[in-house]
Amino acid sequence: MIRHPNFTQQRGVALIMVLAMVAIIATWAATAAYEDMISIRRVSNLQDELRATMASESAISLFRLYLQQDSKDTQIDSLDEEWAMDLPPFPIDEGLISATVQDANRFFNVNDLVNDAGVAQQAAVLELQRLFVLLEVDDALVHALVDWMDKDDVPYGAFGAEDSMYYAQDYKVKNARLDSWSELKLVLGFDKEILKTLQAVLTVRPAQHNGKTAININTTSVENMMAIFPNMNAIDAETFFESRPYEDTSSINDLYWAEGGNLSRLSVSSDAFMVRTHALFGRANVREEYLLLRTGQVAHMIRRERLGWQF
């Protein structure tokens, strides 16, 4: 048989095509298997995250009921009450959920620095500066914080910081109250370390009563107390705390350190609570913070913030 010269050539081409096809199919199959694996992982991650989120929501529902019941049981809020106790993490299904509650009224509300009209409140500024000094944080930072929140564009005090001080950033000052704790990171000078220190005495919550959020003497810290009362020292504060919980604030009037302090801000109960949850399900690790506002005997969720999550 005489082979046409083109025939061998054609077979050669066909072989190369087959080999190329095999190579392509093999690559595709490997990619597809990898993608399948990734999408299975993705679905299972989403499932874990969903379960973690639902566990966190269950915990918050439980604490809402807890706090509602608490307001029916007692007129005061103190650290020896059940809501303030640390609970051990408890298992749900194949996950783990833990939650801690702190009343927000033990802390200075950053939003009190300005009144409802957006004007700095000097008494609050001085109180916050005293608090910074007690914690060994530079009190000049308070000026920058005031400017971030006050509605004018005039620097407040020697260390004020309006827009011109943010020229290196791609954002401007807010000129309004804060919506969340994480916003503080944007304010000039408030670095991670400082914020960690301040977390022990400050909170960010909607301002009430024109920027005069109540401080609960049954839950607040020595430093917060001393910041309200410039004539009080640490021993006075500790002595005063030994008789907690208080049923009312009247006894303070007669104490020598009370002079010059702002008594009208004090309270023996709390109306806002921060619940922090941590849920672990499979590979999902979800941390959230909720802010509950309790008016009368009803606790409403007014803010929910995802603090962190990872797989």
Residue 176 makes contact with Ca ion by CB under 5 A: no
Least spacing, CB of residue 117 vs Ca ion, in Å: 13
Residue 152 makes contact with Ca ion by CB under 5 A: yes
Residue 236 makes contact with Ca ion by CB under 5 A: no
Of residues 152 and 247, the one with the C-beta less far from Ca ion: 152
Burial 48-66 (b: 16+ CB within 10 A, else e): bbebbbbbbbebbeebbeb
Least spacing, CB of residue 107 vs Ca ion, in Å: 23
Of residues 187 and 202, the one with the C-beta less far from Ca ion: 187
Of residues 44 and 175, the one with the C-beta less far from Ca ion: 175
Q: Site for Ca ion (CB under 5 A): how many residues?
A: 6
> What is the C-alpha to C-alpha distance for residues 68 and 296, in angstroms, rounded to an integer?
9
Of residues 49 and 150, the one with the C-beta less far from Ca ion: 150
Burial 107-132 (b: 16+ CB within 10 A, else e): bbbbbbbbbeeeebbeebbebbbbbb
Least spacing, CB of residue 118 vs Ca ion, in Å: 8
Contact criterion met (CB below 8 Å) for 94 and 282: yes
Contact residue for Ca ion among 70, 147, 236, 288 (CB under 5 A): 147
Residues 155-174 that bind Ca ion (CB under 5 A): 156
Stretch that binds Ca ion, among 83-91, 129-137, 152-160, 198-206 (CB under 5 A): 152-160
Residue 145 makes contact with Ca ion by CB under 5 A: no
Least spacing, CB of residue 149 vs Ca ion, in Å: 7
Angle (deg, nearest 10), helices 122-134 and 141-149? 140
Of residues 175 and 262, the one with the C-beta less far from Ca ion: 175
Of residues 100 and 175, the one with the C-beta less far from Ca ion: 175
Residue 150 makes contact with Ca ion by CB under 5 A: yes
Of residues 177 and 278, the one with the C-beta less far from Ca ion: 177
Q: Read out DSSP for 19-87?
A: HHHHHHHHHHHHHHHHHHHHHHHHHHHHHHHHHHHHHHHHHHHHHHHHHHHHHHH-SS--TTSGGGSPP
Please, what is the Cα angle at 204 between 199 and 210, to 5 degrees? 135
Least spacing, CB of residue 151 vs Ca ion, in Å: 6
Burial 285-304 (b: 16+ CB within 10 A, else e): bbbbbbbbbbeeeebeeebe
Residue 112 makes contact with Ca ion by CB under 5 A: no
Least spacing, CB of residue 96 vs Ca ion, in Å: 44
Residue 175 makes contact with Ca ion by CB under 5 A: yes
What 3-state DSSP class applies to 143? helix
Q: Where are the alpha helices (DSSP H) in the chain?
A: 5-73, 122-134, 141-149, 192-198, 222-228, 234-242
> What is the C-alpha to C-alpha distance for residues 306 and 290, in angstroms, rounded to an integer?
9
Of residues 144 and 226, the one with the C-beta less far from Ca ion: 144
Stretch that binds Ca ion, among 127-135, 141-149, 220-228, 270-278 (CB under 5 A): 141-149
Please, what is the Cα angle at 172 between 166 and 177, to 5 degrees? 115
Binding positions for Ca ion, rule: CB under 5 A:
147, 150, 152, 154, 156, 175
